[in-house]
């Protein structure tokens, strides 16, 4: 069986989330239970119908799958777990799609839950950070030797490189958080709904130059769940299936920097003119970028949607700054992005809340923020992984 045979063989049968908020004072497993229960109800499935689990887990803030299964009374045939990063969101869903297509499970819950309540967490990359110790200084390009002690430092490095190479500006970057905040204002799940302006963005304090406070995602508690099953099974369930038409895995290597596409010249990367070509995810789905009704991307920092747009060829290198102006990525624009408000305004659930929103958009369930007649939506990461969903 070739990889192309996986097109449309798996589908999303149900989605669910917990409440998103700060200091909810609930454990990650408690939040995960809400998200799973809501996703099962959405699909019209019972707990005993769930026989697979794929978890994005980050200690000490996330729910460990080894604990979730017994505590929630799950009886699993297939289980996998990975680190809690936005770059593993698509991976978990891809693994689930392959599990159900191979007959290893009938219904797989893919989820992440986070809870910062009551946790005094060290800086990522700093002393005592488990992830930083695991990945030799930090998973996001930070390096404490040079004073870069947070994920935002790596993203700021990319933003500075992008600004200098292409002549873009922080004022142009403000279009990203402004657009996503407009979308959040229409979303009752969103944590941040007050409108913001370019002046608000520019006057917010620098956290790590050139990134302002409003370029940074939220830190919050919450959980989100996506249930993957076969296309045939999904058609017999409660909601209209949303098919996984295209998948592209996560790349790695010397030319990859966590926040940048190859050729940008950050960290170990060479500098060259990047050519996106037609990415494998489009070939598998048998579409081109022109067929998309919306584009969702991990937005822990506002520079990342620019990188994703260019990485996947929706615009050429250096063109994302202009591409995202004048309402183009807002509802009613040519290519709406992150209609839930994104990690910048709805909440940071490692990008899992984006998957929930995509499914709801394709079902027509998003009310005032609904994209008219949405049929094909892409999740595409600055990291290089991607999913294409269709109704």
Mark whether 108 and 165 lie in a shared domain.
no
The predicted structure's pLDDT at residue 125:
46
| Mean pLDDT calculated for residue range 96-120 | 88
31 and 63 together in one domain: yes
Number of separate domains in the chain: 2
Pair 212, 223 in one domain: no
C-alpha angle 356-11-98 in degrees, rounded to nearest 5: 110
pLDDT of residue 199: 98
288/282 Cα distance (integer angstroms): 6
Label residue 325 by pLDDT band (50, 70, 90): very high
Which is more confident, 294 or 118? 294
Report if residue 142 sits inside a domain: no
| CATH number of the CATH domain containing 331 | 3.40.47.10
Q: Tell me the per-residue pLDDT of 223-236, one tens digit each, with 9 for 90 and over.
A: 999 999 999 999 99
pLDDT tier at 127, thresholds 50, 70, 90: very low
**How much is the average pLDDT of 83-108?**
92
249 and 226 share one domain: no
pLDDT band at residue 355 under the 50/70/90 scheme? very high
pLDDT at 200: 98
Q: What is the mean pLDDT of residues 249-266?
A: 92
Average per-residue pLDDT for the chain: 91
Domain span at residue 57 reads 7-116+219-239
Query: Is the same domain home to 212 and 72?
Result: no
Ranges 43-57, 72-86, 225-239, 304-318: which has the least confidence: 72-86
pLDDT at 383 over 50: yes
């Amino acid at each position: 069986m070739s990889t192309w045979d996986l097109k449309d063989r798996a589908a999303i049968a149900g989605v669910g989330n917990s409440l998103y908020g700060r200091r909810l004072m609930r454990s990650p497993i408690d939040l995960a239970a809400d998200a799973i229960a809501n996703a099962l109800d959405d699909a019209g499935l019972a707990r005993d119908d769930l026989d697979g689990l794929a978890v994005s887990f980050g200690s000490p803030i996330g729910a460990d799958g080894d604990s979730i299964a017994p505590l929630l009374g799950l009886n699993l045939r297939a289980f996998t777990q990975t680190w809690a990063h936005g770059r593993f969101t698509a991976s978990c869903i891809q693994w689930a799609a392959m599990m159900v297509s191979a007959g290893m499970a009938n219904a797989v819950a893919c989820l992440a839950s986070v809870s910062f309540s009551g946790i005094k967490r060290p800086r990522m990359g700093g002393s005592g950070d488990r992830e930083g110790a695991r990945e030799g200084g930090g998973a996001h390009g930070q390096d404490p030797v040079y004073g870069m002690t947070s994920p935002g430092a790596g993203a700021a490095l990319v933003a500075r490189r992008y600004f200098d190479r292409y002549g873009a500006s922080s004022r142009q970057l403000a279009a990203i958080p402004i657009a996503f905040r407009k979308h959040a204002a229409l979303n009752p799940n969103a944590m941040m709904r007050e409108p913001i302006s370019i002046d608000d963005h520019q006057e917010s304090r620098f956290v790590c130059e050139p990134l302002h406070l409003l370029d940074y995602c939220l830190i919050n508690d919450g959980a989100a769940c996506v249930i993957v099953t076969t296309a045939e099974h999904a058609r017999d369930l409660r909601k209209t299936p949303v098919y996984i038409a295209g998948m592209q895995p996560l790349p790695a290597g010397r030319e990859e920097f966590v926040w940048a596409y190859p050729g940008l010249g950050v960290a170990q990367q060479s500098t060259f003119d990047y050519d996106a070509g037609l990415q494998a995810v489009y070939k598998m789905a048998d579409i081109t970028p022109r067929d998309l009704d919306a584009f969702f991307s991990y937005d822990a920092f506002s520079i990342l949607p620019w990188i994703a747009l260019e990485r996947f060829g929706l615009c050429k290198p250096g063109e994302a700054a202009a591409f995202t102006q004048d309402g183009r990525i807002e509802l009613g624009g040519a290519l709406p992005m992150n209609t839930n408000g994104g990690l910048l305004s709805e909440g940071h659930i490692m990008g899992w809340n984006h998957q929930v929103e995509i499914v709801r958009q394709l079902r027509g369930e998003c009310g005032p923020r609904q994209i008219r007649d949405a049929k094909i939506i892409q999740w595409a990461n600055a990291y290089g992984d991607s999913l294409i969903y269709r109704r």
